[in-house]
């Protein structure tokens, strides 16, 4: 994708989606109801005060990952690391080739919303939920959370607006504890969105026997606190050969594939 097309798709269109979400959210909130149908065709429990929820409902994130998940044509399991309220877990489960969803969301309040959203949709039986974060040490740590943007919860200690909502204690697991949760025979499609600790998660994932089954990893990069070169170098050493960038500027996503 050339720079002009990237600017239009990830700059102009995404900005317009954000404005639309801000303008229409109060109207939909006033309608009430126990569930909201999102632009991605999944149902979610209303959470209008949260920016992440509004982006889910109005399709602000675009179709890149959604289309990749829905386009899988062979049986697979989806591993959602940093699942938040469950948008991509729900989308993946719409694809009947997705035989299992394994979702990790460590923040208790957000995990509760994830569980509620999964229960609203017919694919709940194929989804395993874990109130855990993946880190290089197992135990308990404090995570910074935002008051009205669950998608910015971080262990990275960035000292930015992510801490506006305070902090909560979460449980972490390392590679040894992660492996039993991934064990199986299905090829794995992994999504990692952990606000700056993507390299740590990939390093732990790479220590597990199940890593050999990972065919694709869709991960977030913010170059202000993550090294895209470091992550790509590690994945190339592990056998990943194709890297596709989605987005522009310092904050974007990458799809790494083995073939």
pLDDT per residue over 227-244, tens digit each? Answer: 999 999 999 999 999 999
CATH of the domain at 131: 3.40.50.150
Q: Does a structural domain hold residue 239?
A: yes
Q: Does a structural domain hold residue 185?
A: yes
Q: Does a structural domain hold residue 141?
A: yes
| 92: its two tokens | 């993946």
What's the mean pLDDT in 159-182? Answer: 83
Q: Does a structural domain hold residue 133?
A: yes
CA angle 72, 115, 95 (to 5 degrees): 15
**C-alpha distances out from residue 207 to 2, 102, 185, 220, 229, Å:** 36, 18, 17, 20, 20
Q: Does a structural domain hold residue 53?
A: no
Helices (H), the chain: 3-6, 14-31, 51-58, 64-70, 87-94, 108-120, 175-182, 198-206, 228-237
Complete DSSP assignment for 187-231: -EEEEE--TT-HHHHHHHHHTSGGGGGEEEEEEEEETTT--HHHH
Look up the domain containing 70 and give its range.
Answer: 62-257
pLDDT per residue over 205-217, tens digit each? Answer: 999 999 999 999 9
Are 189 and 231 a contacting pair, CB within 8 Å? Answer: no
Burial class (CB in 10 A: 0-12, 13-18, 19+), 151: buried
DSSP state of 102: E
pTM over 0.75: yes
Looking at every residue in the chain, the average pLDDT score rounds to 90
Number of domains composing the chain = 1
Q: Does a structural domain hold residue 193?
A: yes
Q: Does a structural domain hold residue 38?
A: no
Type and span of the H or E element at 144 = strand 139-144
Confidence band of 165 (pLDDT split at 50, 70, 90): low
Are 253 and 220 a contacting pair, CB within 8 Å? Answer: yes
Q: Does a structural domain hold residue 30?
A: no
Confidence band of 61 (pLDDT split at 50, 70, 90): very high
């Amino acid at each position: 994708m050339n720079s002009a097309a990237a600017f239009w798709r990830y700059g102009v269109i995404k900005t317009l989606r954000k404005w639309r979400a801000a303008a229409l959210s109060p109207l939909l909130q006033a309608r009430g109801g126990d569930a909201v149908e999102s632009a991605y065709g999944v149902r979610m429990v209303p959470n209008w005060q949260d920016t992440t929820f509004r982006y889910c409902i109005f399709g602000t994130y675009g179709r890149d990952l959604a289309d990749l998940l829905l386009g899988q044509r062979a049986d697979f399991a989806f591993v959602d690391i940093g699942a938040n309220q469950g948008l991509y877990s729900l989308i993946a489960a719409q694809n009947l080739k997705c035989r299992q969803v394994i979702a990790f969301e460590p923040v208790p309040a957000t995990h509760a919303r994830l569980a509620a959203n999964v229960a609203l949709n017919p694919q709940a039986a194929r989804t395993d939920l874990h109130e855990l974060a993946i880190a290089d040490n197992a135990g308990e740590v404090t995570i910074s959370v935002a008051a009205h943007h669950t998608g910015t919860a971080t262990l990275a200690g960035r000292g930015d607006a992510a801490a506006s909502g305070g902090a909560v204690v979460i449980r972490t697991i390392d590679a040894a504890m992660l492996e039993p949760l991934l064990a199986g025979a299905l090829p794995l499609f992994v999504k990692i969105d952990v606000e700056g600790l993507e390299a740590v998660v990939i390093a732990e994932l790479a220590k597990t026997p199940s890593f050999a089954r990972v065919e694709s990893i869709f991960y977030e990069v913010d170059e202000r606190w993550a090294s895209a070169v470091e992550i790509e170098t590690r994945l190339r050493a592990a056998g990943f050969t194709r890297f596709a960038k989605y987005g522009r500027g310092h904050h974007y996503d990458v799809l790494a594939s083995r073939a």
